Structure 1
Amino acid sequence: MKISGFDEMTRRLHQLGNRASRVENNALRAGAEELQETMSRNAPGPSDKQRRVHLKDNIQMGRVKQKEGAKVIEVGPGRESFYAQFLEFGTSKMSPKPFVEPSVVESRNRVLRAMAEKLRQGIGL
């Protein structure tokens, strides 16, 4: 997901120095949490932690990392849900039941609003 229109905020963040990194990380986490909630809601299957791990219960959010010069947080099924790829893309015997891409599309505006709000708070706008 690419974000545009935050030029002024980015300029102010760089002026803040060391505190800017924390503000950026908080904004990324706020957006990732929105996506995580949407993806958990859209994941196929039951949600029952007492019996075993289900896909809805295993949508995870990683830490802030640098990737190709940009900060990112990965959101998606955890290792215990290896079968999520078969649901998302299908197999030779099963049609796809995508939930990752539809979740990204559905939550896009909420993710951007959550990130923008955290950036505004952090830089005092």
Structure 2
Amino acid sequence: MAKHEIEGMKELMKRLENMGEESKTITKEVLTEAVQPAKKEIEKNAPSNKYTHPYEKKYGKLKNNIELEWDDKKQQMNITTSDSFWSWFLEFGTKSMKKQPFIEPSYHNTKKEVEQNIIEGVKKRLNLP
């Protein structure tokens, strides 16, 4: 999916890196809060049918399967579609199905807000103005 580097974050990240283990906790907390607008936008834009598909009987509605997943090794927050494997068919289409993108447009619609949330969250936890 999309990766994005935030301008002005290098200085903040350097300061975080110098904090050792505490920085991992701060990073996880900040990212968990910061990506909420993107998660909500994806849930709102997730395609939904009027009828209940057999997959939905087993796995639930797509919009209810949007979850945050922390990658401890990469120190990054991922927004996933959990057990809703068919989300990829919707997002990118198939040979016999037109794509119905909802993840990438949601990312672009909330990118600036998430960036601002990250900056504000890091500054707040580092007691910066």
User: Normalising by structure 1, what TM-score?
Assistant: 0.82
Q: CA–CA distance in 1 between the matches of 2:69 and 2:49?
A: 23
Equivalent AA in structure 2 for residue 76 of structure 1: T
CA deviation vs aligned residue, 1:23-74 (integer Å, no higher than 9, x gap): 1111221233222111111111169xxx95211111111124223xxx2122
Q: Which whole-Å CA distance do the structure 2 matches of 1:116 and 1:105 have between them?
A: 18
Gaps of 5+ in 1: none
Map of 1:66 onto structure 2 = 73
The answer (yes or no) to whether the contact 1:36–1:76 under 8 Å persists in 2 is no
Aligned to 1:85: 88
CA distance in 2, matches of 1:18, 1:78: 28
Partner of 1:35: 38
> Which residue number corresponds to residue 53 of structure 2?
none
- Write out aligned runs for 1:16-31 (5 A): 16-31=19-34
Partner of 2:5: 3
Q: Name the % identity.
A: 26
Tell me how far 1:12 sits from its aligned partner.
Answer: 2.1
Root-mean-square deviation over aligned CA pairs: 2.0
Residue pair 2:47, 2:102 contacting (<8 A) in 1 also? yes
Amino acid in structure 1 at the alignment position of 2:38:
L
The list of structure 1 runs, each at least 4 consecutive aligned residues, that deviate by more than 6 angstroms after superposition, is none
> What is the TM-score normalised by the length of structure 2?
0.80
Q: Separation in 1 of the partners of 2:80 and 2:29?
A: 19
3-state SS of paired residue (1:66) = coil
Partner of 1:95: 98
Tell me if 1:56 matches 2:58. Answer: no
What is the total number of aligned residue pairs between the two structures?
A: 118
Aligned to 1:123: 126
Match of 2:115 in 1: 112
Counterpart Cα distance in 2 of 1:92 and 1:21: 42
Displacement of 1:115 after TM fit? 1.1
